[in-house]
Chains A and B, each alone.
Chain A
Amino acid sequence: MSEYKHPRELGQTPAQDEPAPSRRRALRSLLGIASIPALSAAGPAQAVAATASAGKIPRLNGKPDFSGIWQTLSEADYDLEPHGNRSDAPPGPGVVEGNVIPYLPDALEKRKRNFAQRDTLDPTIKGWTPGVPRLAYYPAPFQIFQRKEDITIVPQFGHAVRTIWTNNSRHPDGDPKEYWLGDSRGKWEGDTLLVDVVDFNDETWLDRAGNHHSTALHVIERWKFIDPNTIDYSATIEDPKVFSRPWTINVILYRRREKNFQLIEDYRFTIPYDEHYPPKKS
């Protein structure tokens, strides 16, 4: 966490009590202008990547080509934090840098309430989209399709298709929007795809354990090949209404390499009523 600096700390953004549009301008500058030194600093994961066979990764227009079907092996979706086994979850070492999510007191109470009712309140139980960043570590494959101008992510679970724009466009102007997946603007820093995501609603959870966020959520993702079949994925999450400081998760994504592997649609929100169709010969 030490290498992350909020834009405010870098003097690029107004004071904390500024209205939302200012925040958005700050984010535009974050994405539009040159890199933030703190974000470019090599962390441990990048050190691993640097030693891999960087020359062999697939490329498109000179940039890393993430096309393919990917999935986590981690237990992140059950609980981002370290946890022992539960009746509904395998144990996991956690994927949060520093292990603990830095909640504000009220938000921590809400997490506890969510956790107690996770069997019914987790939006993914209803078949709803996991959102961002949860789509990346939800335990189901997703497929990346890449063009020069954008990256299309089709998750197997849920029905929401995500687009990461890589055409030097900025977040929309005006009042913040409330999207389930947020508004994603990506840019390349060397071989790392850096994605700035804002404009969220507050309906998605970050995992099954009830970790949550508000509409002020701001996610910065980093996608980088470790080798041609492995991606190092990290997301820095900030939300001043919920967390006391930004925090970062790291997961590894593996290419699904089974013969003829393909996504199989999973619109499971239709299960409660799909038995009624089509008409049957009586």
Chain B
Amino acid sequence: MKTNFRKQAICIALLAIVAQGALAQQGQGGSSITRENSFPAIASGKWTGPRTLDGQPDVQGHWSNTIANHNNFTDPQGGIINDPSGRKPKTQRSERAPSRVSDPPDGQVPFQPWAAEKVKEFQTYFNNPIKPEYIEPLARCAPGGVIKSFYWHGYEIRQFPGYVVILFNSGTRIIPLTDKPHLPDNIKLWMGDSRGRWEGNTLVVDVRNNNGKALFGRSGEFHGPNAHIVERFIFDNSNKRFNYVATITDPETYTRPFTVTIPARRWTADDKTNGWHFETRLANIGGKDKVLERDERICTENNGGFGFVATSSGRR
């Protein structure tokens, strides 16, 4: 019985691979799930996939969220709030992806009244930024911060003995797999100070020293400079998806801790590159192997429209 079940499971897995191959052949490059409006839960548990030399689950490679960018935090596919061009979503809320706030159940950030007022103010002036604080900091090439980085372009995970390193479009996370103490509290960072550990298929990261400056997106939600974030990267044993589940605790800003959930999928050399989720090129290398390379990410110096102005823009 057991054997039969295994055979069945293998058949299903093969079918899934074939189906995905067919998608790729249609020129979709897997893009059919780059704006999915629902996504599977992934349970924490054992890791049965490949491992790195030092025994970590090997999740290296290129990843990106499957829902939407940072236009709108709680209605990710609902477009920019107060869009000056008058565009309104063409779909009902129920047809769009759920809020990135997975708890509380109403999908809203449990702001204290003063903080809710600040978010409303940001949304009012976002398209008419009469003060510097109404400019979304990514527009100035600021680092994306701990939360927003996971829905701002694709990113690459590289693993090394004792470390997980994530290269984002704007900012870098070095996650040491250690329980050594965090940096002193008075040091505040855009990308926080991380301490990680693996629990089966789940990378658990304790993040402190967050400066809170990055905001969560163009809808202006935020955490304060004393927020404590516990992240759980729950990897599916297919090694093709993970769900990012982060709990943010900040009694100065919120009435209770809340949870953010962001689904992500892997991008591989079988996918077509595109200008947002998957910005890579193939290495100039002989043989059949397709080796992906990631270009350098330079925002500040190249950004002509905001903040800083370089004397020329580089050719790519």
Contact = CB atoms under 8 A, between A and B. Distances in A.
B269 interface: no
A203 B310 contact: yes
A260 interface: yes
A282 B314 contact: no
A267 B174 contact: no
A277 B296 CA distance: 27
Given A161-B297, A165-B293, A201-B312, A277 B212 contact: yes
A123 B131 CA distance: 28
A228 interface: no
Interface in A61-104: 67
A67 B54 CA distance: 14
B23 interface: no
B170 to A, nearest CB: 8
A169 interface: yes
A160 B223 contact: no
Contacts of B183: 262, 264
Contacts of B281: 172
Contacts of B283: 165, 167, 169
A263 B141 CA distance: 21
Contacts of B143: 159, 265, 267, 270
B300 A145 contact: no
Interface string B162-184: 01010100111010100011010
A160 B215 contact: no
Given A145-B163, A203-B312, A273-B132, A278 B215 contact: yes
A278 B312 contact: no
A181 B284 CA distance: 18
B276 interface: no
B158 interface: yes
A67 B53 CA distance: 15
Interface string A264-282: 1101011011101111011
A239 to B, nearest CB: 17
Contacts of A160: 296-298
Given A169-B284, A270-B140, A273-B307, A279 B301 contact: no
A270 B142 contact: yes
A154 B171 CA distance: 11
Name the residue among B115, B294, B301, B307 with the largest chain A CB count within 10 angstroms: B301
B285 A161 contact: no
B134 to A, nearest CB: 9
Describe A's contact surface by its main secondary structure. loop
B308 interface: yes
A281 to B, nearest CB: 5
B150 interface: no
A277 B174 contact: no
B5 interface: no
A132 B222 CA distance: 36
B165 A179 contact: no
Interface string B193-214: 0000000000000000001111
B181 A277 contact: no
A177 interface: yes
Nearest to B191: A265
B6 interface: no
Interface in A5-42: none
A277 B134 CA distance: 9
Contact of A152 (B158, B252, B311): B158
A203 to B, nearest CB: 6
A266 to B, nearest CB: 9
Given A170-B285, A260-B181, A279 B115 contact: yes
B13 interface: no
Interface of A: 67, 123, 126-129, 143, 145-147, 149, 152, 154, 159-163, 165, 167-173, 175-181, 201, 203, 260, 262-265, 267, 269-270, 272-274, 276-279, 281-282
13 contacts: A159-B170, A160-B296, A169-B291, A176-B315, A177-B314, A180-B301, A180-B314, A262-B183, A277-B137, A278-B213, A278-B215, A278-B225, A282-B114
Complex A-B, nearest 10 residue pairs according to Cβ-Cβ distance, in ascending order: A279-B118, A277-B213, A178-B314, A278-B212, A276-B133, A169-B285, A169-B283, A278-B222, A276-B132, A145-B160
